[in-house]
A and B are shown apart, each in its own frame.
Chain A
Amino acid sequence: MEATLLEMKNISKDFFGNTVLKDVNLTLKKGEVLGLVGENGAGKSTLMKILFGMKSIEETGGYGGTIEFDGKPVAFHSSEEALASGIGMVHQEFSLLPEFTATENIVLNRESTRYSVVSELFGSRLNTLDRQSMQKKAIEAINKLAVKLDSEMLVGDMPVGHKQFTEISRELSRDGMKLLILDEPTAVLTEHEALALLSSIKRLAASGISVIFITHRLAEILEVCDQILVMRDGCIVKQLDSGNASVSGIAKAMVGREVDTSSKKAKEVDVETAPVEMEIKNLWVDMAGETVKDVSLQVHKGEILGIGGLAGQGKLGIPNGIMGLYPAGGTVTFRGKEIKLNNPSDCLASGLAFVSEDRAGVGLLLDESLEWNISFSAMQVNNKFLKSYLGGLVKWRDEDAIREVTQRYVDALQIKCTSTRQKARSLSGGNQQKVCLAKALALEPSLLFVSEPTRGIDIGAKSLVLQALRRYNEQQGTTIVMISSELEELRSVCDRIAIITDGKVIGIRPAHCPSEEFGLLMVGHQGEGK
């Protein structure tokens, strides 16, 4: 039996009272590959951040439990300390300089230098670089990974896969690397590149380096990992050896939280046969991190359509693209009329509205009053709340109407505020979210996009927001397209749910389907069905 390299015991972490990790234990042997899977927000990243000593952990009050690494108890206060002990981490986002070659990136700030006399006077930073030895170091690291990578190529000119290899090589080039954490390394790779990476991981493990591998592609986990941990809601819910694991078993464990959906009334009208309200054909959207590649969807009149999927797969890009916030292409027809893409005002004028996931950036005028926030778009788009004088030449705001409508929404959505003139900034996150919703509803749209309506708000506010959506759908007949990372939330509100994987619709199921079916779709298994 190989020696234990890492042991994390009873790890817990909360962000200001919001528990994200509860009593997590894991052990990792030398040369072992550990697969870590779980939905977004299950706590994988937080766990790895604790291990890697990221600053954000300490700034938010540290963590509970103990970590033993390489036989010694450790508590890293910075990632430099973790690096020095032999833990390397490859983050989801690239941390590379595009105008440097692979070599320069791999040895960044650890360049070999040649002695120069001037350095005696002004310090070692005036030593000149020893390019040959730098290249040797880089090639050594690349060879450890056993991939094809031109060490003198500019990173900016590389395909994504090679960038990923460069990043991993950089970690490997450090002296005494013992544990490598890979956070979704294959998410950006093509199938071929992913295969190459997987075999590299196996080689690394064989040479004695342990690997923690986070991914959503379950087949990969089964392929390379010795041990699989499934996380959900901050706990490890399942621990499996790769021998007795299956994709469906893991998927079920990932999403297997049962919610009470009985309270949801069945719709009287069958939405499937209702007329098509919006037709999306071959939509692509260039939104960084949420690229939509080829989405075709039909939204029926009066339904609530859910759009789910894991982060980064493109679900957020869909409403942002249709509403013209990001460059998009394809055709979108709304009530038989084609909508001009890349033109937000045209979208609003045709009766679409959008509650953005980016509350502070797009959604709210933080330094303005609630009245302004709620009435602003409606004023701009629908000429509401305006009094006309001189035959429409001069238009004044109708302050009374504005106050009245704001008060109505404050009551309807139970926005907690001291007055309708309060600044939006001074509201809590949940109440801000409600204001965003009120703003969109004030437009009285025929179709409403709601993106991540419950992100970052507490449970009480969550259910209020969801109820409000449901109510407007039922009473006003507003068609709603709701995008959310939380599957259970979608299942409790929506009529149908489309799952987006890799920028495409991988499947649409009625909301009452069992959650593991959605779980499988999310990880890219189409399964049976359409």
Chain B
Amino acid sequence: MIKKTLSQDKSIKEFVLNNLVPIMFIVICAICIPVSGYSAPALVQEMLTRIARNSFLVISLLVPIMAGMGMNFGMTLGAMAGQIGLIFITEWGVVGIPALVLAAIVSTPISILLGWMCGKILNNAKGREMVTSYIISFFMNGVYQFIVLYCMGSVIPIKNSAILLPRGYGIRNSVNLINIRRVLDNLIPLRIGTVNVPVATYLVIALLCFFIIWFRKTKIGQDMRAVSQDMEVARRSGIKVEHTRLLSVIISTVLAGYGMIIYLSNMGSMNTYNAHSQIGTFSIAALLVGGASVAKASIGNVFLGVILFHMLFYVSPQAGKNLFGQAQLGEYFRVFVSYGVITIALVLYEMKKRRAAKLGGLTLAKAQEEK
């Protein structure tokens, strides 16, 4: 009897330890929601919008995790490609859904090129993929700025004065995306009570989820899972390890590009020089909040993460205002929490790995004592 409760205690402890980050978020949200004073429909509306906006980006992270390459900070590269696509459709004056599709088409080759480059570099930095991709994204940010700030309008023909800086070349700090604002969200209108549901966006996301599920079942998905467990064993069985890893990064980068287009079309305007650099951190933080680890992530983690992460950001400014009379606190919170979550999740993952290694030693010790 005592033994049973002990093992129950242990399994509860295990559960809490394994899901520490999501539990922390649920607790904070549970405290903040009543304090913020938002009504239920307002909260639901906001969450529906934010899930539609962000999920595609977060899902793009799943493929490299499947291949054992951790969180792809290089998704920033895809985001840059998506933004370049959006700059072009704004220049060309395309409107509506065709504009979205065209932006996606423009972004694809750029994403593939950037993803290929990133993947090549990551193949030379096995075991340090995350920090390497993080630094690559900083480096490419410079290249992006050079292209967008200096080449566009001078070398690359951009004529639209609405997006060009007054000096005649370079893109403005903020680009208005009125031509595609919410076109996907409003494509299939549905209104339940006071809540608008962006049906078409959800359909696209559902499609992507099915793609991920299908992809896991393909031969290449299996190869990726094999590579993630042990590159040497996979190589010995004839799987092209480097090629497989490369593909996973390219797929992730391309998807991140599409995700960025969906994200920005929902926002309706683009912060040309900052949007992409934040999106990587936020998406990764959201995925980790959903209970994913560096080595394992599912579609469930994506949605739970996006909901909890955005819930906190939505309610915390108001809660901060109601509690301390300062809304600023919420914005500060946002950045602080994202980096905090990533740090905690990484530390927890390492701890878990070390604990597993220790367990091996303990089992052996126990076996000795029993003898």
Interface pair B219/A124, CB less than 8 Å apart: yes
Contacts of B368 in A (CB 8 A): 282, 284, 293-294, 329-330
Interface pair B223/A96, CB less than 8 Å apart: no
Q: A96-B233, A99-B229 are in contact. Are A128 and B218 (CB under 8 A)?
A: yes
Interface residue from A98, A111, A327 paired with B219 (Cβ < 8 Å): A111
Who on chain B is nearest to A282 by CB? Answer: B368
Interface pair A286/B222, CB less than 8 Å apart: no
| B residues 201-240 in Cβ contact with A at 8 Å | 214, 217-220, 222-223, 225-226, 229-230, 232-234, 236-239
The answer to the question of B365 belonging to the interface, with a C-beta cut-off of 8 Å to chain A, is yes
The answer to the question of A109 belonging to the interface, with a C-beta cut-off of 8 Å to chain B, is yes
| A residues 115-140 in Cβ contact with B at 8 Å | 116, 124-129
Contacts of A125 in B (CB 8 A): 218-220, 223
Query: How many interface residues does chain B have, given as a range?
Result: 20 to 34
Q: How far, in whole Å, are A80 and B235 apart by their CA atoms in the complex?
A: 11
The answer to the question of B1 belonging to the interface, with a C-beta cut-off of 8 Å to chain A, is no
- Nearest Cβ on chain B to A166's Cβ, whole angstroms: 12
The answer to the question of A357 belonging to the interface, with a C-beta cut-off of 8 Å to chain B, is no
Q: A99-B225, A100-B225 are in contact. Are A127 and B218 (CB under 8 A)?
A: yes
The answer to the question of A274 belonging to the interface, with a C-beta cut-off of 8 Å to chain B, is no
The answer to the question of A371 belonging to the interface, with a C-beta cut-off of 8 Å to chain B, is no
Most buried by A among B219, B230, B236: B219
Interface residue from B226, B236, B364 paired with A291 (Cβ < 8 Å): B364
Contacts of B358 in A (CB 8 A): 327
Interface pair B218/A126, CB less than 8 Å apart: yes
Contacts of A282 in B (CB 8 A): 368
Q: A126-B219, A129-B217, A294-B371 are in contact. Are A286 and B364 (CB under 8 A)?
A: yes
Q: How far, in whole Å, are A286 and B239 apart by their CA atoms in the complex?
A: 33
Query: How many interface residues does chain A have, given as a range?
Result: 20 to 34
Q: How far, in whole Å, are A80 and B220 apart by their CA atoms in the complex?
A: 20
Interface pair B219/A284, CB less than 8 Å apart: no
Q: How far, in whole Å, are A293 and B366 apart by their CA atoms in the complex?
A: 11
Q: How far, in whole Å, are A293 and B364 apart by their CA atoms in the complex?
A: 8
**Residues 146-186 of chain A, each 1 if its beta carbon lies under 8 Å from chain B, else 0:** 00000000000000000000000000000000000000000
Interface residue from A95, A116, A126, A284 paired with B365 (Cβ < 8 Å): A284
Q: How far, in whole Å, are A104 and B360 apart by their CA atoms in the complex?
A: 25
Who on chain A is nearest to B364 by CB? Answer: A286
Who on chain B is nearest to A285 by CB? Answer: B364
Interface pair B365/A329, CB less than 8 Å apart: yes
Interface pair A129/B225, CB less than 8 Å apart: no
Total of A-B residue pairs, C-beta within 8 Å: 70
Interface residue from B217, B223, B232 paired with A109 (Cβ < 8 Å): B223
- Chain B interface mostly helix, strand, loop or mixed? helix
- Nearest Cβ on chain A to B92's Cβ, whole angstroms: 28
Contacts of A109 in B (CB 8 A): 223, 226, 234, 237-239
The answer to the question of A108 belonging to the interface, with a C-beta cut-off of 8 Å to chain B, is yes
| B residues 143-185 in Cβ contact with A at 8 Å | none
The answer to the question of A414 belonging to the interface, with a C-beta cut-off of 8 Å to chain B, is no
| B residues 279-331 in Cβ contact with A at 8 Å | none
Q: How far, in whole Å, are A286 and B219 apart by their CA atoms in the complex?
A: 38
**Residues 275-308 of chain A, each 1 if its beta carbon lies under 8 Å from chain B, else 0:** 0000000101010000101100000000000000
Q: How far, in whole Å, are A65 and B360 apart by their CA atoms in the complex?
A: 46
Interface pair A284/B364, CB less than 8 Å apart: yes
Interface pair B361/A327, CB less than 8 Å apart: yes
The answer to the question of A10 belonging to the interface, with a C-beta cut-off of 8 Å to chain B, is no
Contacts of B239 in A (CB 8 A): 108-109
| A residues 32-73 in Cβ contact with B at 8 Å | none
Who on chain B is nearest to A116 by CB? Answer: B218
The answer to the question of A4 belonging to the interface, with a C-beta cut-off of 8 Å to chain B, is no
Q: How far, in whole Å, are A251 and B281 apart by their CA atoms in the complex?
A: 64
Interface residue from A95, A111, A124, A329 paired with B222 (Cβ < 8 Å): A111
Interface pair B237/A108, CB less than 8 Å apart: yes
Q: How far, in whole Å, are A100 and B229 apart by their CA atoms in the complex?
A: 9
Interface residue from B219, B229, B360, B364 paired with A129 (Cβ < 8 Å): B219
Interface pair B361/A286, CB less than 8 Å apart: yes
Q: How far, in whole Å, are A330 and B232 apart by their CA atoms in the complex?
A: 36
The answer to the question of A513 belonging to the interface, with a C-beta cut-off of 8 Å to chain B, is no
Most buried by B among A98, A108, A124, A127: A108
- Nearest Cβ on chain A to B207's Cβ, whole angstroms: 14
Contacts of A294 in B (CB 8 A): 368, 371
Contacts of B229 in A (CB 8 A): 97-100
Contacts of A79 in B (CB 8 A): 236
Contacts of A284 in B (CB 8 A): 364-365, 368
Q: How far, in whole Å, are A124 and B230 apart by their CA atoms in the complex?
A: 23
Most buried by B among A282, A293, A327: A327
The answer to the question of A382 belonging to the interface, with a C-beta cut-off of 8 Å to chain B, is no
**Residues 265-278 of chain B, each 1 if its beta carbon lies under 8 Å from chain A, else 0:** 00000000000000
The answer to the question of A113 belonging to the interface, with a C-beta cut-off of 8 Å to chain B, is yes
Q: How far, in whole Å, are A100 and B360 apart by their CA atoms in the complex?
A: 20
A-B contact pairs, 19 of them (CB 8 A): A79-B236, A80-B238, A95-B236, A95-B237, A99-B229, A104-B222, A109-B237, A109-B238, A125-B218, A125-B220, A126-B218, A126-B220, A128-B219, A282-B368, A286-B364, A291-B364, A293-B368, A329-B365, A330-B368
In the A-B complex, the 10 residue pairs with the closest CB atoms = A125-B220, A109-B237, A97-B229, A286-B361, A327-B361, A108-B237, A284-B368, A125-B219, A128-B217, A109-B238
Residues of A within 8 A of B (CB): 79-80, 95-100, 104, 108-109, 111, 113, 116, 124-129, 282, 284, 286, 291, 293-294, 327, 329-330
List 7 other contacts, CB 8 Å, given A95-B236, A111-B222, A128-B214: A95-B237, A124-B219, A284-B365, A286-B360, A286-B361, A291-B364, A330-B368
